[in-house]
Amino acid sequence: MEEREIKEIETDLLLEAIVRLYGYDFRNYARASLNRRIQQAVDKTNCATISDLTARIVREPEFFQRVVANFSITVTEMFRDPEFYKVLREQVLPYLATYPFIKVWHAGCATGEEAYSLAIMLEEEGLLERATIYATDFNEDALENARAGIYPLEQMKQYGSNYRQAGGRGSLSEHYHAQYESVIMEAKLRQSITFSRHNLTVDQVFGEMHLVLCRNVLIYFDRTLQGRVLRLFDDSLVNSGFLCLGSRESLRFSDTAAHFVEFVAKGKIYRKRTVP
Amino acid sequence: MNDFPVVVIGTSAGGLDALRAVLPALPVKLPRSVIVVQHRSADADNFLAEFFNDCCRLPVAEAEEKELIRPGHIYFAPAAYHLLIERDMSFSLSVDEKVNFSRPSIDVLFESAAQACGARLIGVILTGANADGAAGLQTIREAGGLAVVQQPVGATAYYMPQAAINAGPVDYIMELAEISDLIRKPPCPKNTRKY
Ligand SMILES: C[S@@+](CC[C@H](N)C(=O)[O-])C[C@H]1O[C@@H](n2cnc3c(N)ncnc32)[C@H](O)[C@@H]1O
């Protein structure tokens, strides 16, 4: 049998062991990028094969916790895709402004940069007091970072430029305090966001939302899991609520597509149809 | 019989001109899919795909996630995303860390292609100024695929093809026109091993 087929079987067994022992379900993740992370874990832990990695994961819960942290990719930025944020600010926030209170679910928030970006815009548009932002992820380490709201100073230059392109009204530096080599986001912003654990593969809807953002998370899932997650968002949203996906994601392949209309194509922003 | 349904190409500096010497010469009804990583800035639009769609006989587009890879089509990795191939011959995208300072990374595409296609794959490294793709090309060759590199002498940027050659054995070191011919009519797999 070819090596790549053996690896595929080894990977199936690894994922099966993980879900049965620890409840994390990676079986419906897109395999190609998961394969890379598994291979990295094999190399990093000096295992000879994926099977060796599985053997240790099965017997050593602490070892598993270290490995699984690397299965989740938390690469993110503030105002990633400035054009998207510009559209959100100019075309979506005016609708949200008509509600007495605004509930936002940011799913797959990683270390929180995008959630703070949104909070900054809501603050500048005078909507923050009325807004509750739930930002969720299944990676507890990332959430810990997000709650602290502390980021390296060196990244702020790039983020500041994103912020301006996204139509920022002032200067990004008005929203954080710099100390030595890092910055901490304004207390007001930190208090406006509730960061909590939520696993999109198994957990349920937890409230009615006006806006759901889930960007660059669905690309890691296969079609089946994408379908589950999109149904979750559909069920969470109020009539005429907004759903924002990553710049390369779409509803194209899911049956929930029929429940949404494209609000703006470029920004991948959809609006839930009104169900009578 | 189609021994090589998939061709993956990686390039960075000088890639536009090199690809112009390779892609427009490909004939309609090419029984292969050609998938290209061209390094470029994160905020680049889909100029590349449009440009080549205008001057190629084959349809050219940016790859979309979950899209099934079709023969006779040329695909570009979108800016700021890694492009990967799944076992069911569909595309995946990721925003994982940069690899070799690059996203899209050639190594990421090549390694996933080797895993998905095994020996039925041609990997091509063209002009460029970093070493991305060198490791991926070796992975392709180890899985039985064909490893092809542009002749570094005379390439706009010799560094990338040279790094690919230095990384281990390759099957062909060729001029651009020859590479285009090879994609049209690849040699029979069994007769190609020189090392
Ligand atoms: C690449 S980041 C995207 C961050 C941000 N939304 C952005 O676009 O910049 C993907 C995030 O999805 C999270 N994630 C992956 N699988 C998940 C799951 N099953 N449930 C919740 N979050 C998940 C990861 O932990 C990671 O933080």
ipTM (interface pTM): 0.94
| Averaged confidence pLDDT in chain B | 94
| Residue A91: count of CB within 10 angstroms of its CB | 14
Inter-chain contact A3–B143, Cβ cutoff 8 Å?
Answer: yes
Percent residues over pLDDT 90 in chain B: 91
The amino acid at residue B24 is P
> pTM for this structure?
0.95
**pLDDT attached to residue A69:** 86
**pLDDT attached to residue B2:** 67
Q: What residues in chain A have their Cβ under 8 A from chain B's Cβ atoms?
A: 2-4, 7-8, 30-33, 35-37, 73, 75, 216, 219-220, 223, 226, 246, 248-250, 253
pLDDT of B147 higher than 80:
yes
Inter-chain contact A4–B115, Cβ cutoff 8 Å?
Answer: yes
CA distance B178 to A238: 59
Give the DSSP letter string of B18-72: HHHHHSTTSPTT-SSEEEEEE---TT--THHHHHHHHH-SS-EEE--TTPBP-TT
pLDDT of B7 higher than 70:
yes
Ligand 1 atom with least separation from CA of A246 = 8
What are the tens digits of pLDDT across the range B170-188? 999 999 999 999 999 998 7
**pLDDT attached to residue A276:** 67
Structural domains in chain A, CATH included, are 3-71 (no CATH), 82-272 (3.40.50.150)
CA of A41 to the centre of ligand 1 (A): 19
pLDDT of B192 higher than 90:
no
The CA distance from A220 to the nearest CA of chain B, in Å, is 7
**pLDDT attached to residue B195:** 46
Average pLDDT over residues A195-216: 96
CA distance A162 to A164: 6
What are the tens digits of pLDDT across the range A225-240? 999 999 999 999 999 9
Inter-chain contact B96–A33, Cβ cutoff 8 Å?
Answer: yes
| Residues of chain B with C-beta less than 8 angstroms from the C-beta of A7 | 115
- B194 pLDDT band, cuts 50/70/90, is very low
pLDDT of B9 higher than 50:
yes
Q: Which DSSP helix (H) or strand (E) runs through A156? A: helix A156-165
| Residues of chain B with C-beta less than 8 angstroms from the C-beta of A2 | 118
**What is the DSSP-derived secondary structure letter of residue A92?**
I
For chain B positions 68-127, those within 8 Å of chain A (CB to CB) are 78, 81-82, 84-87, 92-97, 108, 111-112, 114-116, 118
Average pLDDT over residues A134-163: 96
**pLDDT attached to residue A231:** 96
pLDDT of A103 higher than 90:
yes
**pLDDT attached to residue A35:** 96
What are the tens digits of pLDDT across the range B50-99? 999 999 999 999 999 999 999 999 999 999 999 999 999 999 999 999 99
Inter-chain contact A73–B86, Cβ cutoff 8 Å?
Answer: no
Inter-chain contact A75–B95, Cβ cutoff 8 Å?
Answer: yes
Token pair of A247 as six digits: 């710049």
Which distant-in-sequence residues (6+ apart) come within 8 Å of A195 by Cβ? A109, A112, A115, A135, A136, A137, A143, A146, A147
Which of B65, B88, B106 has the most A C-beta neighbours within 10 Å, making it the best mutation to test the interface with A? B65
The CA distance from B177 to the nearest CA of chain A, in Å, is 32
Identity of the residue in B92, B97, B112 whose CB atom sits nearest the CB atom of A75 = B97
- B44 pLDDT band, cuts 50/70/90, is confident
| Residue B156: count of CB within 10 angstroms of its CB | 18
Query: How far is it between the farthest Cα atoms of chain A?
Result: 63
The CA distance from A149 to the nearest CA of chain B, in Å, is 21
| Residues of chain A with C-beta less than 8 angstroms from the C-beta of B75 | none
Q: Among all residues of chain A, which has the CA nearest to that of B140?
A: A4
pLDDT of A164 higher than 90:
yes
Structural domains in chain B, CATH included, are 6-189 (3.40.50.180)
**pLDDT attached to residue B51:** 97
- The half-sphere exposure of A226 on its side-chain side, counting CA atoms within 13 A, is 23
Interface size between A and B, measured as CB pairs under 8 A = 61
Catalytic positions of B? 12, 39, 132
- B189 pLDDT band, cuts 50/70/90, is low
Which of A11, A219, A220, A253 has the most B C-beta neighbours within 10 Å, making it the best mutation to test the interface with B? A219
CA distance B160 to B152: 8
**pLDDT attached to residue B193:** 52
The CA distance from A4 to the nearest CA of chain B, in Å, is 6
- The half-sphere exposure of A166 on its side-chain side, counting CA atoms within 13 A, is 26
